Structure formats: C-alpha cells, structure tokens
Structure 1
Amino acid sequence: MELAPAPELNGVRRFAVEFLLFGIKEARACFFAGLFFVSIFVTPRAGLLDIPRYDLLLVIALGIQAWMIWTRLETLDELKAICLFHVIGFVLEVFKTSSAIQSWAYPDFAYTKLFGVPLFSGFMYAAVGSYVIQAWRLLDVRVQHHPPYWMATLVAVAIYANFFTHHYIGDYRWYIAALAIGLYARATVVFRPFDRDRKMPLILAFILIGFFIWLAENISTFFAVWHYPNQIGAWSTVHLGKWSSWTLLVIMTFTIVASLKHVRERIYIPA
C-alpha cells in the first residue's frame, strides 16, 4: 500500500519516518534471501523425515520461489533474471569445489548433488540477484551518471573471469576493483524511501551490500552449510578478504540487472 506524501514532515520526524520505511522496504526486498537463510539456520544438519539437508533446502527454495510468483511478489521476468543468477552461481560453485581447486566443500550427502555441488547452492547467488531486483522496484531506484553499459559489462565479465583465472594466472581483483571504482566514481544511486528522493554514491552501496553478504556467509559456515579448508577442525571467521569478493560479485549482479533494465527502459537520469 502506497502512503500519501507528507510534505509537512521535517527534521527528526521525517528522518524517523523515512528510516522506518527504508527498513521496511529493504526487509521486503530481502524476502527471498531472508526466508532462504532462515531455513538454513533451522534445518537440522541430519535432515528431516529422511530427506537430506541439502535436498530439503532445495525444496524449500523452490517452494519460496513458487509462492512469490503465485502471490505476485515477483514477476515472471524477474524470475527469469533470478534463474540466470542461479546458473552463474552454480557454475562458479562447481569450479570452486572441484578436486583441482577445493576452495570450499559441501561435506554432507544429498541426492540432488551435481558434480559434487548441491543444487540449492545456486539459490544463494540468486538471493543476491533477487534482492537487487526487488530493491530496485520497491525503492524506485534510478542511477545518475551510469557509465557506458559496454564498459560496465566488460568490468562485470572481468570480475567473473577472475574468480576462475586467479587460480592459474594470479589474483587481479584489486586491479579490477580499482577499475570499477574509477568507472562508477561519478555514479549515484537515487532511491525513494517515502516521498522524496535520496542519494548515495553507488560504490558505497556496493560495499555495504557486500558487507552484509559477508556477515551472512559467516553465519552459514557457522551452521556448517559449507566450510572453507581452515574451518574443518573448528569454525573460524570467514577471512575479511571475502568481503571484497562479495562486493565485486554485487557489482557484477548490479550490472546484469541494470543492463536488463536498460534494454526495457531508460534508467539514466541527466545531471
């Protein structure tokens, strides 16, 4: 339900109202991610009713997705984009967990494992895509000074490729990050929590989202959904460097969403 504009609000009252509505819309944008990660925390590691944990998580993720479509919380076009994120994430998971790389592992048994990776894992990446798509619509997101789309696409491709190639030719994430910072230096995200537009440097938005994903990753590894080699004996905090990886992944995700929307509508706002 849309609230009527309240131009008379000002000062602390306006801040409180806008902060509350921003929080509500952010929570709504995180609906799929929130429900999915709650299911990770409450699902017993041994599974339930003879259904292995990873298989149960896949069923829950599919159920949440179907329910969101049925209730029109998500459109079919948005679902198509989310499926793309699922595929992109699953391919990365297969590579990272392969015997040659072993960046992390899914130790538990599941019937729905493909190439050693449970099918539910792609939904963790799809959850990021779902958040970006939902937040864009709910907060009426627009972008000022968006860089040329072909350049943004090249950076996104470089980010994704580096997740694979750094095992063979070196990690160039910081060079790519510097390139991304330069590319998006003038970019500003415009959003509307209530009845007035607010602005934030787009790079700052990327960093903040990456941080919260890093926190979610710490919680997920604590509950043994997957683990890194240094967490096999006992749980330890996920290395802070993963924050940079997630931030780069957010940039890649944002680029895909922005490019898809650019095909359908004009999102650039003249300065």
Structure 2
Amino acid sequence: MKFFRLLWVFTWKQALCCLFPGIIFISLALTKLVEIPFIARYDLLLIICLVTQIVLIKFRLETWDELKVIMIFHVIGLGLEIYKVHMGSWSYPEPGLMKLFGVPLYSGFMYSSVASYICQAWKRFDLNMTNWPNIWLVSSLCIAIYANFFTHHFMMDFRWILIILVLLLFRKTYVYFKVSATQLKMPLSFSFLC
C-alpha cells in the first residue's frame, strides 16, 4: 500500500513539475489542429507562453528567481534556434509577426520549459546529489556538448560519444529525492536515460 501512495505522490509532483512543458506541448498540438482566425499560430503560441508564465507567477507555482532562470534558458534557446535555422537544420515556414531572424519568439520557451521542469523538480523533490564528478571534467564535457551542437555541421558528429562520456562520468553520482517523507535515490546516469 505504501508503494502505491508513494507512486501517487510522485506522479502528482511530476505533473506539477510538468505544468509549463505540458501547456506548451498541448498548445503546439492544438494550434496545429485548430486554426484561430486573425492571429498567426506562432504569435498565438508566444501569447500562450507569456500568459502561462504570468499565471504560474501569480499563483506562486513559480517564483521570480525561477522565472529569471527560465528567461536565461529562453534567450539561450532562441539563439540556438536561430543558429539551427540559419544552418538549414529546420525552418519555421508559417507566418508570424513575432519572429527574429526567421525564428518565432515562442521557440525559446521550448527550451525554457526544460528550465521550468528542473526548477520545479529541484524544489518539489528536495533534490540532492552525491559523488559529483570533478568540476573541470564536467565543465569540459559541457563545453564539448555545446561545441558539437555547432560544429557537427562542419565536421563529424560526436553526439553518441558524448552521450557515452556523460553516462560514464556520472556513473557514480546518485540523486536523492523525497516523496512525502520518504527519501529515495537513483543513479543520475539512469535518470539521464529516462
């Protein structure tokens, strides 16, 4: 019985953590199926993202500090999208007023929804980690991952090698999290695979 109670609490907390990402993905699907007259889909998605953030702040589901992190991810994500569109990886062919270099402004929110999830999970599950690898190794691997994002257009794509290196580097790292009053743990590498 305790297992099912913990599973319910865990699932409920995960759902709360996924509010912003969930709203974005549902909005992407619905706006693809249902056309709203007088407003371009990309502009409507931007409005939905902005209103969602306002509502989450108003009802204290996110804090102002979390919003700062989310907006940093938004700016970085928008920059990454601009680069990928410029390199021809994909495009945003639909019309829209709120575009920057051919990329709709809502697209950065897809990245910031990841930041929202991370902030929410850290808070709701009281996350802690043990056996964190050497900071120089972690930093070097992060730089290599971002470099590969840009350079794989010109040279070999090292994505699979980098994934293996991430799993190896964090193989001894455990993440501890609380569900109700029960503290649980799992290998961080396993969480990357989930």
One-letter identity of the residue aligned with 2:21: A
CA distance in 1, matches of 2:137, 2:112: 24
TM-score where L is the length of structure 2: 0.94
TM-score where L is the length of structure 1: 0.69
User: Percent identity, aligned pairs only?
Assistant: 44
Q: Which one of the candidate residues 5, 10, 25 is aligned to 1:22? A: 10
Q: Which one of the candidate residues 152, 173, 179 is aligned to 1:187? A: 173
1:39-75, Cα deviation, whole Å (9 max, x unpaired): 1222256742411000000001001011111111111
CA distance in 2, matches of 1:151, 1:82: 26
Q: Which one of the candidate residues 88, 91, 94 is aligned to 1:108? A: 94
Q: Give the superposition deviation at 1:76.
A: 1.1
1:113-149, Cα deviation, whole Å (9 max, x unpaired): 1111100001011111111110111011111111133
Any runs of at least 4 consecutive aligned residues in structure 1 with deviations exceeding 4 A, and if so which? 44-47
- Correspondence for 2:67: 79
Partner of 2:108, secondary structure, is helix
- Correspondence for 2:151: 165
**Where does structure 2 lack aligned partners over 5 or more consecutive residues?**
none
Q: Which one of the candidate residues 23, 31, 55 is aligned to 1:67? A: 55
- Correspondence for 2:39: 51
One-letter identity of the residue aligned with 1:72: R
CA distance in 1, matches of 2:109, 2:3: 35
- Correspondence for 1:256: none
Q: Give the superposition deviation at 1:193.
A: 1.3
Q: Which one of the candidate residues 142, 145, 167 is aligned to 1:156? A: 142
Segment drifting more, 119-128 vs 32-41 = 32-41
CA distance in 1, matches of 2:76, 2:139: 15
Instruction: Give the length in aligned residue pairs.
Output: 194
Contact 1:155 1:180 in 2 (8 A): yes
**Where does structure 1 lack aligned partners over 5 or more consecutive residues?**
1-12, 209-271
- Correspondence for 1:225: none
> RMSD of the alignment, in Å?
1.4
Q: Give the superposition deviation at 1:27.
A: 0.3
- Correspondence for 1:124: 110
